Amino acid sequence: MAPAFSNPLDEQRTEQLTHAFSREGCIAITGGLTASETVTLRAKTDEYAANPATPEKQISNAFNTLIMRHCHEMDPFSKR
């Protein structure tokens, strides 16, 4: 079962973001997580990035920014 998000997006905002993603190839969603959720996400990301057993397909870098890919394969919601 997927978790409930603290700030779910309404239908209009979801549509706007979907169009922006299609147009730009990326989007920034602000205010989607609480401060506590952000801390938890950062800790999990750091854990995977520092783990030498994390598959190469999960990690890449763009300039000096770490990019984690396919994270649901490493820690799916269904495991919780």
Q: What is the pLDDT of residues 39-78, one digit of tens each?
A: 988 888 888 888 888 888 888 888 888 888 887 787 765 5
Neighbours of 16 (CB within 10 A): 13
For the chain, the structural domain boundaries read 53-80
Answer yes or no: is pLDDT of 4 > 60: no
Coil, strand or helix at 57 = helix
Q: What is the rounded average pLDDT of the residues 4-26?
A: 82
Supply the pLDDT for residue 5: 58
Instruction: Dig out the tokens for 79 from the structure.
Output: 């495991």
Supply the pLDDT for residue 28: 82
Single pTM value for the model = 0.56
